Structure 1
């Protein structure tokens, strides 16, 4: 129940014409079901001025604000499990295209990533950030978590695709940083400060995004490889042959395919027998090149690095290949992991990490490992599952997680959060592994920009 102060605060927002509603279940859930959220209400502003009004009032009343995009985040940044006085701030009504040209797009933060793609296509261009949840994920959330996806190898993360931001700070101040300049060295880069901050330093309300001309010719292929080491060598070979034209290079394990066969949903498997390892490669080539010839040439040049290949014969088959890759996490959830890890190591170290991590875990007990992900940028989704017939509760989940993360950081100078962020799930991991100076700088920034601690309390920093 709301107390009197909370009710007065919400009535004050309504008095300013801001829509405030009771939280529907969708606002209190996150995809992995780790936490049920709690909140007093949901504010749904129509424009930046109303966002500023919400934050001014929240700062004065010291009411926590939980920013909510599409709700697709996997580390709990969008749900707050404690504090009935917290207010969810949803920008879903703020989804307008403010400006567009062949070079850039200015769009409000509540637009879905799919809507951003459609806006770019309307001027014959492409916004290359691609993730499985793009029909639901909002661009504000993608920027606030510095989303990665499958095209990072060619285009970079969300940070590399953003030219400027508009954001509202904790006290209601509006920062108009919607520049579309490619070069601007006038002081600190506040855009990069807010990107990846997960709504803890300010609320992104609009963004200026880079657009790209689509490749003239595109194609996808599955290549089977005998080992992760062969996959990394194949990546180097492909990048040498098609400089700047490798859009996707995804590693898939035979264990992942076995989980797909065991749990569904229905997918079309590319080979009669599942290989131990395979890679999904997408090329975007200049006009005049033939994609089938390109893949045939790569296969021939690869020699013993590959054992088989299937090239997509149509756009529909390319979509089928992509669907198989994106369905692997669905199968993982149905199996039920002991511990899931979103980690990154240097690309050249991927084979050694997979080997050492596997030997370490098998020494700890009988477990299955599904390692897959964006080998082109060193980001692996390294997930550990119980042996067939055993329940995950029979394992020491914390010990498995710490063993993997300790190896990533101490053995490979890697990251325990490559693309999913910190949210609430990994606050302890950040404390455990981050450089002390980094933590001190982060806390100083938080104290300076959000002195009352109202912005996404409990996320990123404890």
Structure 2
């Protein structure tokens, strides 16, 4: 490739893709260019592509400019195959597509569809896709297929290569081949005859070499993602099929996968798992060899260090501290189409293991909650080790495969090799039934000596895996940059030359992802290593895996949690190494909006992070650090005079309502939206509430007393225009009375607040003062339950509970105390529910669903809607966050669904505005269904 004028290229790309989706600023280039590997390359240009036509235009423009192109789906890859210093094309939501042919049992998926979401949609058909990587809840189909990712249960037979039905691929010359379309195939055969003839000639050359043919067939009997899938040249006679299967595992170096069609596999409901502990690693591995010929679905190995890393995780079935220094475990799963078959399979598995060699025996659990915890423990190993590494180091996971019959010997050799190179803290685990072992260790790259140590270790690993055992240096993670220099070491010259010919046939200009899979630089795996400087203990444990991203409401609008951490690390590095760097000033300026203002600080990221890293908490800490004396003084005054603050808010709502009556809701929204962008004033919403009218205290009743506290939002904001709903406290009194409780409402509450709004804005002192005041005031009553109508308030106040003050979330109390005492008549119309971030973090989302299920036959929780992005008052002041978070809500609800329910007033405003439905408190639903 020639020298590239990226400024000119950016201008030319603007004719293909809207400029808003072309990023050249330092913050976006760095954050969007980050993946889960330990390599750092910052793209010159990042393009968010939403259609095949846009990808085609970008590729053509880059080809003309001589600029290499790399494709990115979720960026969960671990070997450096999704980073670049040229042009990065990130797949947008336009590439999320799903279509299932039930008769053929084939699913057609867009490359931006998340693997776990594909399986969720296939669940009603009792089918799933074959690949099951541990990252499936985040990884996208494009990456899963491009890396031939497998996982814990799919083995070799159900990976992308073997379950591929068809695909749609764009080649480097811009041509598109759809192998499900006979017409397109016929045209392609005519236009690309030299290419297809070249593949056929390659296949003929291989078949003429019996030794090479045998070598290829043997290598692919076990897991292997080193190099290209040249078994396609042996397995198929039609060059079209050869080309399609060569794309699997090609890591974006041969073509762009615009759609992948899978033959689905059964998703058996009958399953059971056993967690079996052995005295040492060798005995555990010998058991694996015995299990190879049984109907075990999966066998996962955990060595002693791996067990230690997850010993405190919920559901760990053994006391790890009581085990010996070499103890190891196998997590075994059996699945079957029915219970009788499952029992037979379990019996075969149990019979294959010498129970005398175990410390726990072989006991299978059929309890889904127990077995889910087993697998959560297994999935948490890699991130857990990464989180415990020394600050400033990175975590490396290697991925090898040995012949299963030699697994015990190989595992012991691997353990000894790690100890000899000073990696005594390393752990070994993996998909043992396939001979596939992962080993994880912490590595610093801040000194030449450490880089040299890593280089020497990798040489030794290559010699062990290939030289002694003829295994695979990459079994399922892809060669990437990490193993590219070792491809010829593993395959030999003849096979590697075939791979080079494949690359030259399909991408003669080396346009797509150069340097990945094949690389002539013998030290490329030791270059462009990611810096991981310590920033704060709140985020230092992050390994940038990206598991958090699907939960984040600002992902795709500005930054995700992973991207906020990556940017924070880079800014810290620049402050230390080059404080005058112009990119530092630009990043710090842009981070204020992209990293802070648009962060909902909802902390949902922590619920899926194996290390429970809370970027919301980190953001709140940054806000607190920036608050000066004057800002703190103003916040303190607002806290002390909070009744006046709520009064001003009511007055503002009254003025807005009056203006709306004159100019109309749409006009007011337009004008206020423009003012919001210029002056930062609140944006009016079509679902904006009217000021709360004073509601009379509930009439005294009989039964056990309960104190009901309305949040400041509920006390300030009444129903929207045209909504004649009763005041919430009135509804609560009715519902509680039916269940035999006497509701008590505290007097003079306008000055009371839990402090949540102060805390999210970075004023922890004012926030805690208000919370303590509230706890003291409400605790001055006799010790009775205090039910909070808003879930965020309840969650915050639980930290201030004592024997006098017993706070309950509304959903928690309704589910545990109220609903069991009521009789319900289910509503016939479908209803929508939204579990707030707080409910999700507290584990109360299922309780909300159960309450709704008592009240209606059809309950809808729209998939893909996590945090609503209203975030206290950001729905007013940063409305684009709420808009982005709920962009798919209306489409996810059927026309017949006209009502929605939640447990936080401000969330309900945003949900109503973006769905076109009325959202109210879950109390209203119980009131209506229990009459």
Corresponding residue for residue 430 of structure 2: 373
Q: Is the 8 A contact 1:154 1:247 kept in 2?
A: no
2:396, 2:259 → 1: CA distance? 36
For 1:205-235, what per-residue CA distance to the aligned partner results, in whole angstroms no more than 9, with x for missing partners?
1011011232251111111123444334434
> Which residue of 132, 155, 166 corresponds with 1:153?
155
Corresponding residue for residue 59 of structure 1: 63
**Aligned-pair CA distance for 1:298:** 4.2
1:204, 1:398 → 2: CA distance? 33
Corresponding residue for residue 131 of structure 1: 133
Corresponding residue for residue 108 of structure 1: 110
2:381, 2:425 → 1: CA distance? 15
Query: Matches of residues 271-282 of structure 1 in structure 2 within 5 Å?
Result: 271-272=318-319, 273-274=322-323, 276-282=327-333
1:371, 1:150 → 2: CA distance? 15
**Structure with more helix by fraction:** 2
Corresponding residue for residue 43 of structure 2: 38
Distance 1:132 1:63, change over 3 A: same
Distance 1:259 1:394, change over 3 A: farther
1:111, 1:349 → 2: CA distance? 38
**Aligned-pair CA distance for 1:418:** 1.1
Corresponding residue for residue 17 of structure 2: 14
Q: Is the 8 A contact 2:68 2:511 kept in 1?
A: yes
Corresponding residue SS for 2:515:
coil
TM-score by length of 2: 0.45
Corresponding residue for residue 422 of structure 1: 479
Does residue 268 (structure 1) correspond to residue 315 (structure 2)? The answer is: yes
Q: Is the 8 A contact 1:20 1:44 kept in 2?
A: no
Q: Is the 8 A contact 1:257 1:274 kept in 2?
A: no
Query: Matches of residues 297-446 of structure 1 in structure 2 within 5 Å?
Result: 298-299=349-350, 302-303=353-354, 304-308=356-360, 309-336=362-389, 340-365=397-422, 367-384=424-441, 393=450, 396-446=453-503
Corresponding residue SS for 1:193:
helix
Distance 1:394 1:2, change over 3 A: closer
Give RMSD over aligned pairs: 3.0
Corresponding residue for residue 74 of structure 1: 78
Query: Matches of residues 189-268 of structure 1 in structure 2 within 5 Å?
Result: 189-238=242-291, 240-242=293-295, 246-261=296-311, 266-268=313-315
For 1:260-305, what per-residue CA distance to the aligned partner results, in whole angstroms no more than 9, with x for missing partners?
34xx6x4332112346111001100232427578646744663323
For 1:386-438, what per-residue CA distance to the aligned partner results, in whole angstroms no more than 9, with x for missing partners?
9xxxxx94982221221122111100001111111111222223254441122
Corresponding residue SS for 1:14:
coil
Q: Is the 8 A contact 1:252 1:373 kept in 2?
A: yes
1:335, 1:401 → 2: CA distance? 22
**Aligned-pair CA distance for 1:76:** 1.2
Corresponding residue for residue 169 of structure 1: 171
**Aligned-pair CA distance for 1:351:** 0.8
1:125, 1:138 → 2: CA distance? 18
Does residue 448 (structure 1) correspond to residue 448 (structure 2)? The answer is: no
1:4, 1:21 → 2: CA distance? 12
2:117, 2:480 → 1: CA distance? 25
**Structure with more strand by fraction:** 1
The runs of 5 or more residues in structure 1 that have no matched partner are: 387-391
Q: Is the 8 A contact 1:148 1:158 kept in 2?
A: yes
Corresponding residue SS for 1:289:
helix
Corresponding residue SS for 2:472:
coil
Corresponding residue for residue 289 of structure 1: 340
1:459, 1:28 → 2: CA distance? 16
1:190, 1:402 → 2: CA distance? 33
Larger Rg: 2
Corresponding residue SS for 2:516:
coil
User: Larger RCO: Structure 1 or Structure 2 (Cα < 8 Å, ≥ 6 residues apart)?
Assistant: 1
